Structure 1
């Protein structure tokens, strides 16, 4: 599939995103700070970068500017933050980020945004008037695609009732195995509810053979009631 670089100083978020994207078939490289992200970028161009804004050594916006000044911002970069202001989001997209994800990130939004970013592929870069290199947006629809998420960052409100696809429902301050089980429990309960408990459709949606699916539900302690299909 794709090589994705995840840059975030929170180990729980790095590992959870890695698990999700690995299950989607992607190759994942992790960096906990800007120094590791720089080294990863110099080793090779990733197909996409998930970049946290607030990091202890160098913040994500500064790193984005750095890559732009060096002509290395030729891959889609999606910024992430739970504390960024609207001005920070606007600045990141102006510098060259293609989108912005506000934490907690919904699973559906995460996968949709990554899919859109990968569809754009390698971004051509051009030298700006101040000597930096910036991505050249594709014709016509580029501006609305960037502007829309910025509005969503400002106005997004958790839905009522709580959407079980929210990553924010999972406590990251726990061992990885327990966090992974919590995510899988939410994931399968979400699909069971969405498919009206049809095991056939859930099997197709999740890509698991039915026997494996039954075993997984039992392992996660999800109620084993009569299900259609």
Structure 2
């Protein structure tokens, strides 16, 4: 897929965006301030940047101006903020930002903006500057087709109806989520969409049911 740089001073937001984008197959680098972002921009040459506006050392709009003035705005930049004004968003767009996401960021808007940014990058003429650091070939290739039979749906005969209701329900939910994890090749984002759960709720549910996500992802690799 692509190499994405996330710049945000809030640890929780960095971790959440890392989980979502990494789950989508992207290589994700994290920076908590403008100084780290500058260094990673030079070293990794990201394909797309998610840049917070309000940061303690240098704000995102100022950093965007720096990159633009130095001819380093060679990648789509998506600005993020929970407190920005319309004027700030307009200024960032004028400087060269591709989009603006208001916090709290919804999963749908995040993935849609990232996809649009990467489409924009891919549509550039061959002569235009482009970032060179892409994810390794095996990371951005689609999952290999299953050689065996597709996972079977659980049938009533697989459950012990003599169990107390709570235990029987847990057994069903475990089979239900394991089925969808296999179907979606371990992608938590797609499983969340398929089951209608928020990602945080889904993670808690899988942990509660004792489902080992590392094994699921290894099996899907």
TM-score by length of 2: 0.59
Structure 2 unaligned blocks of 5 or more:
125-172, 192-202, 210-221
Asked whether the equivalents of residues 50 and 79 of structure 1 are also in contact (C-alpha less than 8 Å), the reply is yes
Matched residue, 2:207 = 220
Aligned residue for 1:63? 63
Name the SS of the counterpart of 1:57 in structure 2. coil
Per-residue deviation, 1:45: 1.6
Task: Measure, in 2, the Cα distance between the counterparts of 1:217 and 1:63.
Answer: 37
Q: How does 1:206-217 map to 2 (within 5 A)?
A: 206-208=184-186
Q: Which residue of 2 aligns with 1:98?
A: 98
CA distance in 2, matches of 1:220, 1:95: 44
What is the 5 A alignment of 1:90-129? 90-121=90-121
Residue equivalent to 1:84: 84
Aligned length: 146
Do 1:74 and 1:122's aligned partners in 2 also have CA atoms closer than 8 Å?
no
SS at 1:116 equivalent: helix
TM, length-normalised to structure 1: 0.57
Inter-partner Cα distance in structure 2 for 1:103 and 1:13: 10
How do 1:169-208 residues align onto structure 2 when only pairs under 5 Å count? 202-203=180-181, 206-208=184-186
Q: Structure 1 105/121 Cα, relative in aligned 2: closer, same or farther at 3 Å?
A: same
Closer, same or farther in 2 for the Cα pair 1:65/1:218, shift >3 Å?
closer
Q: 1:106, 1:84 → 2: CA distance?
A: 17
Higher relative contact order (CA 8 A, sep 6+): 2
Deviation at 1:220, TM superposition (A): 3.4
Q: Which residue does the alignment assign to 1:39?
A: 39
- Tell me what 2:22 maps to: 22
Instruction: For 1:207 and 1:24, locate their aligned partners in 2 and report how far apart those are by CA, in whole Å.
Output: 11
Change (3 A) 1:82 1:217: closer
**Offset at residue 58 of structure 1 (A):** 0.4
Distance across 1 between alignment mates of 2:21 and 2:120: 18
Output the CA distance in 2 between the equivalents of 1:35 and 1:20. Answer: 24
Decide whether aligned partners of structure 1 residues 45 and 217 sit closer, same or farther in structure 2, where only a CA change above 3 A counts.
closer
Does the C-alpha gap of structure 1 residues 41 and 200 become closer, same or farther in structure 2, counting only changes over 3 Å?
closer
How far, CA to CA, are the matches of 2:183 and 2:93 in structure 1?
A: 33
Unpaired runs of 5+ residues, structure 1, are 125-191, 193-197, 223-229
Query: For 1:83, what is the secondary structure of its paired residue?
Result: coil
**What's the CA shift for 1:78?**
0.1
- How big is the shift at 1:113? 0.7
Distance 1:221 1:113 in 2: 32
Residue 140 of structure 1: aligned partner: none
- RMSD of equivalent CA atoms: 2.8
Secondary structure of 2:62's counterpart equals: helix
